[in-house]
Amino acid sequence: MATINGITGNQFTPGEGEYNDHRYQYALSSFQDDNRIAPGLIVYPANKYEIALTLKYAKSQKIAVAIRTGGHQYCGASSTIAPNIQLDLSRTFKNPKEDLVYIEKDSNAFVRTSVSWPLGEFADFLGSHKAFVPHGQYVTDFYFSCS
């Protein structure tokens, strides 16, 4: 598959040297044999415009898009197979002054975050402010069965 014109963020295609590093997800270990996590193109958009450009391209080519944010999805749903596109937002919204903010107002605390922060970094940020937001956690030696 060709890359998308106008994208300034990284793009990776199968067979390219770094492709396997970027298609990897925790779920890959569950689906190693059936190759469910092998998108035709991995796109790291730099901004909202490039997200829209990727979606328009996919629509024009009649292919699907799987969205990956700050981490993964246990059953691999944040990836896809060729010819479809994996749109990886893990780098898109990581401005610490805008996309991960702790606010105290009138004896209340608020946290504003984007989809690009991995859970570990988000939890560290909360801990630095002595704050907590309920969330799931992945235990590396726990096995998920996703059929």
CA–CA separation, 33 vs 64, rounded Å?
Answer: 22
Could you tell me the pTM of the whole model?
0.81
pLDDT for 34: 55
- Asked if residue 109 has pLDDT above 60, the reply is yes
Whole-number pLDDT of residue 61 = 96
**Listed ranges 13-22, 101-110, 111-120; the one with the highest mean pLDDT:** 101-110
Q: Which residue has the higher pLDDT, 65 or 96?
A: 65
Domain spanning 11-88, CATH class: alpha beta
Start and end residues for every CATH 3.30.43.10 domain found in the chain: 11-88
Instruction: Give 147's pLDDT tier (boundaries 50, 70, 90).
Output: low
Burial of 76 (0-12, 13-18, 19+ CB in 10 A): buried
Q: Is the pLDDT of residue 141 over 60?
A: no
The pLDDT of residue 33 is 53
